[in-house]
Amino acid sequence: MCACVCHPTDATLQVDISDALSERDKVKFTVHTKSTLPNFKQNEFSVVRQHEEFIWLHDSFVENEDYAGYIIPPAPPRPDFDASREKLQKLGEGEGSMTKEEFTKMKQELEAEYLAIFKKTVAMHEVFLCRVAAHPVLRKDLNFHVFLEYNQDLSVRGKNKKEKLEDFFKNVVKSADGVLVAGVKDVDDFFEHEKTFLLEYHNRVKDASAKSDRMIRSHKSKNQLHFRTETQQVSCSPDRKFFLKVSELFEKTRKIEARVAADEDLKLADLLKYYLRESQAAKDLLYRRSRSLVDYENANKALDKARAKNRDVLQAETSQQLCCHKFEKISESAKQELIDFKTRRVAAFRKNLVELAELELKHAKVKGLVTVRSR
Amino acid sequence: MNVISKFHGFVASSSGKSGPASLPAEDISTNSNGPKQDSLFDDDPEDLFAEATEEVSLDSPERDVLLSDGPSPAITPITPPTSVITPRIGLAHDDMFTHSSFDEIEEEEGGDSFDIHIAVSDPEKVGDGMNAYMAYKVTTKTSLSLFKTDEFSVKRRFSDFLGLHSKLASKYLHIGYIVPPAPEKSIVGMTKVKVGKEDQSSNEFVEKRRSALERYLMRTVKHPILLKDPDVLQFLESSELPRAVSTQALSSAGLLRMVNKAADAVNKMTIKMNESDAWFEEKQQHFENLDVQLRKLHASVESLVCHRKELSVNTAQFAKSAAMLGNSEDHTALSRALSQLAEVEEKIDQLHQDQANADFYLFSELLGDYVRLITAVKGVFDHRMKTWQKWQDSQLLLQKKREAEAKLQFTNKPDKLQQAKDEIKELEGKVQQGERDFEQISKTIRKEVSRFEKERVKDFKTIIIKYLESLVQTQQQLIKYWEAFLPEAKAIS
């Protein structure tokens, strides 16, 4: 179910989510690790983690200056069962007003929906961990190891108000800065191209993702209807036999359509959503690089000034060297990261588009058969 | 058409019995398919499922009606049709007369019954401003000797149709015939058209109305009695028709109608009828149920149409977005694949739209028609009640007069006595007539209901099968599109 294409199973470090438990307001993931690395006490072990702890891990990567040159795998979205829970509740309230049969049917459908959402959130958390484990540098991160191994609660509380406010301001500054930085034309063609490309791509993926969501949503809501249509048909007599057949047909096609919508959701919508987040992460990388370029240029200017005034030259020189070094390091790794990003992206799109087409074909054929047979 | 040529036509179609050709996908928008071959070889409609696998015959109603009411002009319109049975074709052709024609030119829901086919087409706006109206061309193709020529057409406007219906209703409803209701007025819709808005919704409105008018006329002529009514003939044939003014919504006649309707509703509540015939009670209950069911179903189908249209809009938007994404993707193969995806989605959007139209024109409109028809059926049952009431009233009156007469016997008023005796004679006649009327209407209703139910079953089946056909078509198209896309997706690397 991964929207990304993880590296083939690497014996040195394998991470997956072997189990998950959904409680009232949280989901508990069992993170299972198999490793031959010496850093770990055992070769195979599991811990239980919650969503906040994933976020903590992600944020620790982002804040780590050493990782400025890498595309940080995007954090998994928060598990959101509210809509599904609401529907189940409404169903419970309306139990009196429908027949037992209808009730059980609807209940089954809603439960299936809940299960689907659940599976998705598990998959997305797993993808995050896989990506970290597959990254040559990030996999060695200490926080990551703690995350995998420490079998007590990490006591990572969610950010309190003050911290959230700080984050907010940081983002504001970042986006303003981002605009300034984006205006600077890069000397390096590769990066210049990537910058333009990513900006546009990101926006378009956002748009495509939103539209595909809407399309799939209306597909799903269309399916809700048939359900009632068929139940009514049954009572029209004396052509009872005929109408029964027709209503059976409608019910079957509706089930198939539901599966089509679910598959589209998985293969298309999820793919787009994931790449929306990844392209944002890639943009962040470019931003960090540009930021460090600006810092480097500023350091150069400071050095020139210092030389001219012949004051604090040594200090300026060290600072400039640091900046230079940082910039070059980021540029180098960024290049590789972006190339990898492209490869991953192409592969993921290919896999998902092929699977989407195959599934659509399969369902269309089944639907055709069912309809023809009923004639 | 003489008997011999009919024979030939007959022989030609006899080969069709065995494997029917696969049902052609009906194109909603128009046009004749080739002549259908084995239409008259349908099985007994009791075997509903079997019939569903054969070629859809839109002629099957014809057979029943052919047998029931000899279309020979010798029969006057007042004779009720003999009971409708559905014979094997061999039988039918033996006593068949001049009118079984195998000339089947099919269009849309039109079928040949009595070998008459009516098409409503070419809506044209006549006039300007608030006095403008749409004129429709009504073309009749027939070989019935009832008509002067084989093919003719006239121009009619909507109020002409309403006028026809109102005349037929006043003549036949109260004696128990189910007169098909005319399409509804729509002040909003017409105003838009009058004002000259040339947009999508007013075009749709005109098309909806045109299709409804066509179905209305076909249903009317399928009824053996109504077909021969001089008003119907005049409507179809004469080039000039006196303007039916009393059909205007806000006219005095319109108001009178509304008042009458209200009065009827009140009366219905007060009439307590002693139903001696269980058949009627059962049928009335049946129609009540059917009414409720059909209304619910109709509502569901209408919202299905809405949702499908919404899906189509969203798919189109996604297609555009995917195309943009494809444009900005710098990996060539992926870019091409994404553009292909966008094209596929666009075609799918078109498919959805077409399907929505099918949903609507086939299914939803049919249901709407039947909801209205059932109202007419219920009206006929109500008339029976009224007839019964009249009969009872005259009986009561007769009794009173008899009592009065008895009293008068003891007084010495010979002329008053004579007058009373005369009145009693008159009333006795009325009572007898009332009873006869009641019996007559009951008989008519039985036949009408049985004919109606048969028609309904056939109609539904036909339409639903057509609808299923359209679904199959859609699926096949979907398969084609995705099959074309798959290699493109695989070519990415």
Q: What is the mean pLDDT of chain A?
A: 80
Please report the pLDDT score of residue B249 as a whole number.
56
The length of chain A, given as a count of residues: 375
Identify the bridge partners of residue B259 per DSSP, sorted by sequence position: none
How close B331 gets to chain A, by Cα (Å)? 8
Helix (H, G, I), strand (E, B) or coil at B127: coil
The DSSP result for A273-324, as a single string, is HHHHHHHHHHHHHHHHHHHHHHHHHHHHHHHHHHHHHTSSHHHHHHHHHHHH
C-beta separation of A367 from B488 below 8 A? no
Identify the bridge partners of residue A20 per DSSP, sorted by sequence position: A29
Nearest CA in chain A to B298: A229
CB contact under 8 A, B300 and A232: yes
Phi and psi of A45, rounded to 5°? -160, 160
Burial A276-306 (b: 16+ CB within 10 A, else e): bbbbbbbbbbbbbbbbbbbbbeebeebbeeb
- Per-residue pLDDT of A111-150, as tens digits, reads 888 888 888 888 889 989 988 988 888 888 888 888 888 8
Q: Is the predicted pLDDT of residue A83 greater than 60, yes or no? A: yes
**Sorting pLDDT into bands at 50, 70 and 90, what band is A13?**
confident
Measured CA to CA, the distance from residue B479 to residue B355 in angstroms comes to: 15
- Residues in A closer than 8 angstroms to B329, CB to CB, are 201
- Residues in A closer than 8 angstroms to B330, CB to CB, are 197, 342
Residue in this structure with the two tokens 């409109």, named with its chain if needed:
B365
A132: CB partners within 8 A, 6+ apart = A15, A57, A61, A73, A138, A139, A141, A144
Please report the pLDDT score of residue B11 as a whole number.
37
Nearest by CB to A211, from B317, B460, B479: name it. Answer: B317
Instruction: Give strand ranges (E) for B143-233.
Output: 151-157
Q: What is the mean pLDDT of residues A177-185?
A: 62
The length of chain B, given as a count of residues: 493
Please report the pLDDT score of residue B62 as a whole number.
37
Between A77 and B56, the more confident residue is A77
Helix (H, G, I), strand (E, B) or coil at B78: coil
Measured CA to CA, the distance from residue B52 to residue B89 in angstroms comes to: 19
Which residues of A, range 225-284, sit inside 8 Å of B by Cβ?
225-226, 228-229, 232-233, 235-239, 241-242, 245-246, 249, 253
Please report the pLDDT score of residue B13 as a whole number.
37
- Per-residue pLDDT of A330-370, as tens digits, reads 888 888 888 888 888 888 888 888 888 888 888 888 877 77
Chain A to chain B, count of Cβ pairs less than 8 Å apart?
153
Nearest CA in chain B to A235: B293
Q: At what angle are helices B414-490 and B60-68 packed, to 10 degrees?
A: 160
Between A240 and B165, the more confident residue is B165
Let me know if A166 is exposed, middle or buried by CB neighbors in 10 A (0-12, 13-18, 19+).
exposed
Please report the pLDDT score of residue A10 as a whole number.
60
In the structure encoding, which two tokens stand for residue B423, read together? 């009145």
CB contact under 8 A, B297 and A360: no
C-beta separation of A144 from A138 below 8 A? yes
Helix (H, G, I), strand (E, B) or coil at A17: strand
C-beta separation of A130 from A33 below 8 A? no
Q: What is the mean pLDDT of residues A52-63?
A: 90
Measured CA to CA, the distance from residue B16 to residue A357 in angstroms comes to: 41
The DSSP result for B279-295, as a single string, is HHHHHHHHHHHHHHHHH
Please report the pLDDT score of residue B286 as a whole number.
85
What secondary structure letter does DSSP report for A65?
G
Nearest CA in chain B to A238: B457
Show the low-confidence residues of chain B (pLDDT under 50): 1-113
Q: What element of type H or E holds B126?
A: strand B116-126
CB contact under 8 A, A222 and B311: yes
Please report the pLDDT score of residue B298 as a whole number.
83
**Sorting pLDDT into bands at 50, 70 and 90, what band is A290?**
confident
Selection from B13, B125, B5, B122 nearest residue B63 by Cα: B13
- Domains in chain B (CATH in brackets) are 277-492 (1.20.1270.60)
What is the distance, to the nearest Å, from the Cα of residue A116 to the centroid of all Cα atoms in its chain?
16
- Per-residue pLDDT of B294-352, as tens digits, reads 888 888 888 888 888 888 888 888 888 888 888 888 788 888 888 888 888 888 888 88
The DSSP result for A208-234, as a single string, is HHHHHHHHHHHHHHHHHHHHHHHHHHT
B283: CB partners within 8 A, 6+ apart = B381, B449
Please report the pLDDT score of residue B114 as a whole number.
57
Instruction: Give strand ranges (E) for B143-178.
Output: 151-157
Selection from B98, B105, B95 nearest residue B39 by Cα: B105
In the structure encoding, which two tokens stand for residue B330, read together? 């710098």
Between A13 and B188, the more confident residue is A13
- Residues in A closer than 8 angstroms to B296, CB to CB, are 232
- Residues in A closer than 8 angstroms to B479, CB to CB, are 361, 364-365, 368
Q: Is the predicted pLDDT of residue A18 greater than 70, yes or no? A: yes
Enter the pTM of the model: 0.70
